[in-house]
């Protein structure tokens, strides 16, 4: 970008940006496609497959979220099949659509073609640098329909802001109704999008300031949302999911949401900042720039002596600022520190900063402080970018020539939640056991990959069993009843996810007859699932063969210690002795 470069002019800087953009895609796309899927993605895959096979959402598989993400998986899997590579390719296509809308947003702020390409470089570099936990997740997926709605809001604002322009009722109604459909589509996937949607609408109305048009616009926008909402409710009613959906959201979710709030801890926040380094620093710049855009617009409009509308670029900056600040607020105020919640606010921050820098480059008014800061940030991005690490870059050819496998997943995973090669060994063992539907119970959420890879249905409707056990403690009796009624023959446990540290989980006993690690409690009797005999072990993973009776829960999703085992049975014995005789 240079001083007198017009928005559409192609210069040497444009070609340089295009070449860098292309190189980033070539280097990262094969690695991205072969990365593993997050556990949530596999859970939604299982639900989508269940519904496509005639099952009922919420009733046949427990789910705490709205059904929109399952509908997305049903559509995607019907089109591309069940491979992890295919869904990651779809994720890249959806993200590319979002990035394209973000890149074009600031064009009315005189952002040059080179500037758009550099915004695109930043957007894709960010997405390729975050872990698989954030890919094909609800928050990033809904940014595409949200950006489509934002573009429609911009169009509506352009048409309504000039009071002297005659605009028909049908025209106002139609554009707002269409926008409402897009916001509702995003809402069905994740309802927190209502916060930035409301912020964007309020921002546009503060610019329009025409009561009659405002009422028409709001009513039709709301009607569009209610229309799509009604279609979703009708689907759940026809599918038979509504009663279970209502029960889940009234009896289970309050407890689930309350438990989730405990995740805001200082250590987890530090870990979150580490995983998003250096990109989280962008908020320190984007928030002031967004507030500055709002202040500048209101100052100009207040000082203006006429009703002539502000420049289109100024209005675009205001709408984007409302979108960004609303999204950032809801992600920290109403959600948790899980990584997948926060990519959209970073993508919007990049767009906010890109628009500001682009206009300053056009005017040759960028200070040396900005230039130095950009150079320093670029250096941090390059040094922290996963694709530039030698051990990862060496896998590029393998990723091009091969599909995903356990070895590639173990090398490409950026968040080590699963030991892929050990889990593969567990899968190979279970393949020899002639498993049928509901024979297998994966106790920990990290083991969910075994169900689709072995082509078996889970033993209970609680697929993320340990998570529900931890976050919904008042419903443990229902979980235990589901376990007792299931025909399961094997249960697999993850020692690290069940409370062991890595060294203890991987340690081996001095006795060749003991498959469990030395710290595993040996006096467990009648404690599900830990007391059931271990017939196979691979690293942190244990395969238990079920011997009835099932036993009882120890009151936690973690492996109990020896002291806790003794305390538990003393408490049980005392409770039994205090029961009145019949």
pLDDT digits (tens, 9 = 90+) for 154-183: 999 988 887 666 778 888 889 999 999 999
Q: Which residue would you say has higher pLDDT here, 328 or 112?
A: 328
Beta bridge partners of 440: 458, 490
User: Quick one: pLDDT at residue 576?
Assistant: 64
Q: Which residue would you say has higher pLDDT here, 512 or 528?
A: 528
Q: Say if residue 451's pLDDT is above 60.
A: yes
User: Quick one: pLDDT at residue 572?
Assistant: 66
Q: Say if residue 21's pLDDT is above 70.
A: yes
Q: Say if residue 307's pLDDT is above 60.
A: no
**Nearest-5° Cα angle at 167, 163 to 172:** 110
Our measurement of the distance from residue 213's CA atom to the centroid of its chain's CA atoms, rounded to an integer in Å, reads: 37
Please compute the mean of the pLDDT values over residues 208-229 and round it to a whole number. 88
Strand 534-538 and strand 490-494: the pairing is unpaired
Half-sphere exposure for 404 (CA within 13 Å, toward CB): 22
Please compute the mean of the pLDDT values over residues 196-203 and round it to a whole number. 95
pTM: 0.92
What confidence tier does 470 reach under pLDDT thresholds 50, 70, 90?
Answer: confident
pLDDT digits (tens, 9 = 90+) for 58-73: 999 999 999 999 999 9
Per domain, the residue ranges of the chain are: 12-388, 420-578
User: Quick one: pLDDT at residue 141?
Assistant: 97
Residue 101 · residue 147 · CB < 8 Å: yes
Q: Say if residue 3's pLDDT is above 50.
A: no
Phi and psi angles of residue 442, each rounded to the nearest 5 degrees, phi first: -90, 105
Question: Closest Cα to residue 472, out of 271, 302, 287, 248?
Answer: 248
Residue 160 · residue 115 · CB < 8 Å: no
Q: Say if residue 387's pLDDT is above 60.
A: yes
Distance (Å, rounded) from C-alpha 192 to C-alpha 433?
A: 44
User: Quick one: pLDDT at residue 368?
Assistant: 77
Structure tokens at 568: 């538990």
Least confident of 82-91, 116-125, 518-527: 518-527
Distance (Å, rounded) from C-alpha 495 to C-alpha 379?
A: 39
User: Quick one: pLDDT at residue 154?
Assistant: 94
User: Quick one: pLDDT at residue 361?
Assistant: 66
pLDDT digits (tens, 9 = 90+) for 554-572: 766 677 766 666 676 676 6
What confidence tier does 45 reach under pLDDT thresholds 50, 70, 90?
Answer: very high
User: Quick one: pLDDT at residue 439?
Assistant: 97
Q: Say if residue 110's pLDDT is above 60.
A: yes
């Amino acid at each position: 970008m240079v001083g007198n470069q017009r928005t559409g002019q192609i210069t040497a800087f444009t070609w340089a940006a295009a070449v860098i953009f292309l190189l980033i895609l070539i280097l990262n796309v094969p690695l991205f496609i072969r990365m593993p899927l997050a556990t949530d993605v596999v859970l939604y895959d299982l639900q989508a497959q269940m519904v496509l096979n005639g099952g009922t959402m919420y009733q046949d598989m427990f789910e705490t979220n709205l059904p929109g993400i399952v509908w997305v998986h049903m559509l995607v899997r019907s089109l591309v099949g069940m491979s992890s590579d295919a869904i990651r390719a779809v994720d890249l296509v959806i993200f590319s659509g979002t990035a394209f809308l973000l890149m074009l947003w600031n064009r009315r702020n005189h952002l040059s073609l080179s500037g758009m390409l550099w915004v695109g470089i930043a957007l894709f570099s960010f997405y390729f640098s975050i872990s698989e936990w954030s890919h094909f997740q609800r928050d990033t997926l809904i940014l595409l329909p949200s950006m489509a709605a934002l573009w429609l809001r911009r169009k509506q604002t352009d048409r309504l802001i000039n009071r002297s322009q005659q605009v028909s009722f049908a025209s106002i109604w139609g554009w707002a109704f269409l926008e409402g459909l897009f916001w509702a589509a995003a809402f069905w996937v994740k309802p927190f999008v209502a916060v930035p949607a409301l912020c964007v609408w309020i921002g546009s109305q503060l610019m329009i300031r025409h009561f009659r048009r405002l009422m028409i616009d709001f009513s039709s926008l709301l009607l569009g949302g209610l229309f799509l909402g009604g279609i979703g409710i009708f689907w759940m009613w026809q599918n038979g999911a509504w009663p279970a959906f209502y029960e889940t959201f009234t009896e289970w979710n309050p407890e689930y949401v309350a438990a989730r709030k405990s995740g805001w801890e200082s250590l987890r926040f530090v870990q979150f900042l580490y995983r998003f380094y250096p990109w989280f620093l962008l908020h320190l710049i984007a928030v002031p720039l967004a507030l500055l855009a709002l202040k500048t617009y209101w100052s100009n409009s207040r000082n203006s002596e006429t009703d002539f509308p502000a420049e289109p670029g100024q209005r675009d900056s205001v709408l984007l600022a409302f979108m960004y600040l609303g999204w950032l607020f809801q992600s920290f105020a109403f959600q948790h520190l899980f990584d997948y919640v926060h990519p959209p606010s970073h993508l919007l921050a990049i767009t906010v900063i890109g628009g500001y820098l682009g206009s300053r480059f056009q005017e040759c008014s960028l200070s040396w402080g900005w230039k130095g800061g950009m150079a320093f940030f670029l250096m941090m991005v390059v040094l922290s970018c996963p694709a530039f690490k030698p051990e990862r870059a060496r896998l590029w050819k393998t990723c091009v020539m091969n599909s995903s496998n356990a070895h590639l997943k173990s090398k490409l995973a950026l968040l080590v939640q699963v030991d892929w090669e050990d889990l593969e060994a567990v899968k190979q063992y279970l393949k020899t056991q002639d498993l049928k539907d509901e024979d297998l119970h994966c106790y920990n959420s990290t083991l969910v990959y075994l169900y689709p890879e072995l082509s078996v249905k889970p033993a209970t409707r609680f697929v993320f069993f340990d998570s529900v056990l931890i976050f919904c403690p008042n419903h443990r009796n229902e979980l235990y009843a589901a376990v007792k009624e299931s025909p399961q023959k094997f249960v697999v446990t993850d020692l690290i996810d069940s409370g062991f540290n890595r060294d203890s989980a991987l340690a081996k006993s001095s006795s060749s007859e003991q498959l469990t690690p030395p710290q595993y409690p040996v006096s467990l009797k009648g404690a599900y699932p830990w007391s059931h005999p271990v017939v196979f072990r691979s690293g942190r993973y244990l395969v238990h063969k079920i011997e009835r009776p099932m036993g009882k829960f120890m009151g936690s999703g973690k492996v109990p210690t020896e002291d806790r085992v003794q305390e538990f049975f003393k408490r049980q014995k005392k409770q039994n002795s205090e029961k009145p005789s019949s």
